[in-house]
Structure 1
Amino acid sequence: MLEQAKETNQLFIDIDEGRIPKRVPVYTWMDITYIMQYAGVNLKRAQWDVDHFKDMVEFGAKSFQSDINPATFTRIMPVYNILGAVNFVMSSEGQIQHPEVTGMQPEEYDEMINDPYKFTHDKILPRLYKNLDTTPEKKAMVFAKAMKAHSDIFGQIFAHHDLMAEKYGLAYDRVGCQTIAPFDQVADQFRSFSGISTDIRRYPDKVLKACEAVLPMMLKSGVKPHSSRQKRTFIPLHMAPYLREKDFEKFYWPTFKRLIDALWEAGAAPLLFVEQDWTRFLDYLNELPAGTQMMFEYGDPKVIKEKVGKKHIISGLYPLTLLARGTKQECIDKAKEMIDILAPGGNYIFSFDKVALNLKDAKPENIIAVNEFVKEYAVY
């Protein structure tokens, strides 16, 4: 299957290098929790069973007809448990949730802006991860234990992804690391959704300085030695759709644009998850360096193709909700509609508009049928 893996990988390389591939590549994203449920294991127990993560990775590789292994590990509970996380917690059903938390108070903006690394280490992390709220000696031990667990777990996962690609003829994993837009960092982990919504009116200058202050941190986390067009920097975009355009233009866009430009300059090609509806901001997105991949959640495919599809790589937009409720034929018909709009001229990777987290999100048989159809139909 190694030769098939090379052929599959070439589909993505062609797109990354501006060529039209033999066919539209299929990239299905699903959290490991979805695969665990489909495999019939106990979800709460399986997320602690590190030794069997490899089994779930292989189960995903052979089950869903994706050109890249669909298994994604976004939240690793053993690591969060070591840290005592309050920003990511497990529900009674076994799903990892992100409650609204506040890591920084408004009166602390100046302190954070003055030294964002020190403030994050000394103040924010102990508030979000309670086991770090201790003596320096114990804090160092908790950090070391968590980093060791994180490195061990992901080291095994990444190595197994490559083995599964060769075993099942898949392309290699497309994501090399992750970072976040500066405004989203300040909002998500420091001030919360409601906090930042108030701050842009009460303390606009401080919010702007905060975004500037965290920009170097976001750039550092988004560039790795292996960064490339084939090992992209994943960036989920959160807050922009909830902002007025003048606020987006003032607070969100400047440091985000500089982050993307700097990533490209460092050889790190971005893969954006464009959450919610960015229709108002498509012209801004088109200003980003050519070849940026954009996985859209919502929007008119025709408008998106026209506005950004000539310059950038489009993915997403296929509604996960249809896979949950529709018949197999309805799902296939929708796939044909999306391909007919988005595939002409290249720059298109077939994927769904969201990452499947729960088995209720999509019927596995619909995912398989749609992916098989795309591979047969979407040939250039």
Structure 2
Amino acid sequence: MTDMMAERTQLVTDIMDGKIPKRVPVVGLFAHEFAIQYAGKDLKEVQWDTTDLEACFEKVCDDFYSDLLPVSAFRMPSFYKVLGSRNFVMGSNGFLQHPEVEGLKVEDYDDFIASPYNCIVEKVLPNLYSELNSDPATRSLVMAKAFKAYTDENNNLFRIYGNLVNKYNYCTSTFFAGFCEAPFDILTDQLRGFKNISLDVRRIPDKVEAAVNAATPLMIKMGTQPFPNKYNATFIPLHMAPYLRTKDFERLYWPSFKKLVEGLAEKGMRANLFVEQDWMRYLDYLEELPAGTIMQFEYGDPKLIKEKLGKKHIIGGLYPLTLLKTGTKQECVDKAKELIDIMAPGGNYCFGFDKVIITLDSVNVENTKAVLDYVANNASY
């Protein structure tokens, strides 16, 4: 391990141990779509033939400061194409889209509640993936092809990640060692859809409650890392809570989600939450989660977030990508300074943007570089 890698790793392990690090860790997050565009490559071509993907990632690593690996590819199109996916579809612009889908019919709630895994295999997957809606022999062949494509893609990505971590001396810990969803969110995103779940909450809340409870053990299993490590984290994007009435959140969203995070903690893992949209009315709930939970906020009052959560949890996010697009370089740097002055005192803070940077035109590149460099050089304790 080089001195730079050791120093960066120490920053993150100190944060996760509840210690004040030498300086604020910088977490730059760029999607593979941005990296491909930034490198001047064709977005559609590189996603199907990933020969040039590593070079695209290197371009981002060369030009943008981060203490953790700043680039990742979360979903590649190959295995979705093999499956005939309806829930993730490649758009004509080269971006993978997530259309509104209904994987679980309302009449199948009882089957899901009784045996969620069996219901997913027997009913949900054929609804979401057209090539699985066939005879058993054909389904087996399709699933084998898709799994081969999935493992090939991921093995290549993990090889690239390892190369980049070593070449650029990034921190060896990761905030993305596993992935799952809150039980209510998986019910919404992949099973019922936004429209249907909104109706279900009002018409059949008892079944919704039973379904999220049934899904919770599956989400704990899904989020369990192959080699649990308190210095890594399982990523959980939070979707539906801001769209729920508080009373529905308290009954249908929070109990199963809390059980999920606590279940991961009991196995020696911590959660890395992307707190999407505005969770300000739920800050007291988030405070109840196991100490050291990582929370990257999209919106909110940084002073109140720091006051309520900053002593117990690791907080970040909130820097607006819109300012990187529209502001002057000085305005962008001043905003970073403002957030650091509020969030950094006492530790438990990682600098990051309010969203992953996905498209090249969503930010001004020079502003983005200036902000990341400023934090790296001026956020020492």
Q: TM-score, normalised by structure 1?
A: 0.97
Q: Secondary structure at the match of 1:298?
A: coil
CA contact (8 A) 2:38 2:60 kept: no
Q: 1:101 — aligned with what? A: 101
Q: 2:238 — aligned with what? A: 237
Q: 2:354 — aligned with what? A: 353
CA distance in 2, matches of 1:61, 1:270: 25
Cα offsets for 1:171-213 (capped at 9, x unmatched): 1343111000001111111111111111011111100110111
CA distance in 2, matches of 1:333, 1:312: 25
CA displacement at 1:230 relative to structure 2: 2.3
CA displacement at 1:2 relative to structure 2: 2.4
CA contact (8 A) 2:36 2:53 kept: no
- Code of the aligned partner of 1:373: Y
CA contact (8 A) 1:227 1:269 kept: no
CA displacement at 1:49 relative to structure 2: 1.4
Moved over 6 A (4+): none
Q: Which moved more, 1:274-283 or 1:99-108?
A: 99-108
Q: 1:206 — aligned with what? A: 207
Q: Please, which runs of 5 or more residues in structure 1 have no aligned partner?
A: none
Q: 2:83 — aligned with what? A: 83
CA displacement at 1:304 relative to structure 2: 0.3
Cα offsets for 1:5-44 (capped at 9, x unmatched): 1211111111001111111011011210011111110111
Q: 1:261 — aligned with what? A: 262
CA contact (8 A) 2:100 2:194 kept: yes
Q: Secondary structure at the match of 1:273?
A: strand
CA displacement at 1:59 relative to structure 2: 2.2
Cα offsets for 1:47-89 (capped at 9, x unmatched): 1112222222322222211112211212211121111111111
Q: 2:284 — aligned with what? A: 283
Q: 1:144 — aligned with what? A: 144
CA contact (8 A) 1:271 1:295 kept: yes
CA distance in 2, matches of 1:170, 1:31: 17
CA displacement at 1:156 relative to structure 2: 2.1
CA displacement at 1:163 relative to structure 2: 2.1
Cα offsets for 1:276-319 (capped at 9, x unmatched): 00000000000001000000000000000001111000010000
- Code of the aligned partner of 1:313: I
Q: 1:321 — aligned with what? A: 322
- Code of the aligned partner of 2:196: G
Q: 2:219 — aligned with what? A: 218
Q: TM-score, normalised by structure 2?
A: 0.97
Give the paired residue count.
380
Where do 1:304-319 residues align within 5 Å?
Answer: 304-319=305-320
Q: 1:365 — aligned with what? A: 366
CA displacement at 1:268 relative to structure 2: 1.6
Q: Which moved more, 1:56-65 or 1:97-106?
A: 56-65
Q: 2:158 — aligned with what? A: 158
Q: 1:30 — aligned with what? A: 30
Where do 1:181-200 residues align within 5 Å?
Answer: 181-200=182-201
CA displacement at 1:378 relative to structure 2: 0.3
Q: Secondary structure at the match of 1:20?
A: coil
CA displacement at 1:225 relative to structure 2: 2.5
Q: Secondary structure at the match of 2:37?
A: helix
1:52 pairs with 2:52 = yes
CA distance in 2, matches of 1:174, 1:215: 21
Q: Please, which runs of 5 or more residues in structure 2 have no aligned partner?
A: none
